[in-house]
Amino acid sequence: MKIIKICFTSLLLFLSGYLRGQHHTLQNQPYADQRLFHLGFTLGLQTQDLILTQSGFTDENGEVWFAEIPRYSPGFSVGIIGNLYLNRFMNLRVIPSLYLGDKQFVFREQSSGEEFSTRIRNNYIALPLLIKFAGDRIDNFRPYMLLGGYGSMELSSGKNQAVRLKPYDFGMEFGVGCDFYLPLFKLSPELKFSFGLIDILEKERTDLKDESLQRYANALSKATQRMITVSFHFE
């Protein structure tokens, strides 16, 4: 035990001396985080998904269909950052963004194993409102985490498709990232998770002109949104 204590104490002393030495590094943009308000922009890659609830509906032929989203489909996002300084460790951020992507559905019949595949476009505008909790700055980088919510609006709702989603959604978001202070701007890679809180499945399908699609539309009773986004912020 004595040897472990000596090693642990030595490690703490080494890290303490190392961090003190690092603070002699010249800091880029030393007052960047003290601005009351500033703007930026963000570019990102995202994958959209849905949590599906099956209805167990049996059609007139005695068939029961089940749906799934077998794989994530990559998409693209772009947005504008508005950042309000609250205190040394907290900022309020609003990031209106455009998300472009799609979702692929696979329907399988319970007994025969027959399959039907379809893909729907999912392009929408989202308005996240987030609190950014930042740690202490170490030279030219600073870790942070995010917590907040969002509202979104679908730009176009496809008609006469097996699955149709409601145009509005609300949910929660959380994420982690790190600010890197460069000589001319601040670059922030970020990983964010989004979880919808409401059912966005459209059940009143008066738009369906192809009656053969009705059995697939009846296969689901609920769908909630979720998404993973990797972003690069420029501020």
pLDDT score for 24:
53
- Residue 161: count other Cβ atoms within 10 Å of its Cβ: 20
Instruction: Calculate the alpha carbon distances from 26 to 14, 39, 88, 103, 121 in Å.
Output: 21, 25, 20, 47, 48
DSSP 58: B
For the chain, list the domains and their CATH numbers: 34-234 (2.40.160.20)
What is the C-alpha to C-alpha distance for residues 4 and 6, in angstroms, rounded to an integer? 5
Per residue in 116-158, pLDDT (tens digit) is 998 888 899 999 999 999 999 998 999 999 999 999 999 877 7
What is the C-alpha to C-alpha distance for residues 120 and 223, in angstroms, rounded to an integer? 14
What is the C-alpha to C-alpha distance for residues 78 and 123, in angstroms, rounded to an integer? 12
Q: Is the pLDDT of residue 217 over 50?
A: yes
Q: Which of 21-35, 127-141, 200-214 shows the lowest per-residue confidence on average (mean pLDDT)?
A: 21-35
Per residue in 63-90, pLDDT (tens digit) is 899 999 988 888 999 999 999 999 999 9
pTM metric for this prediction: 0.82
Selected residue with higher pLDDT from 235 and 16: 235
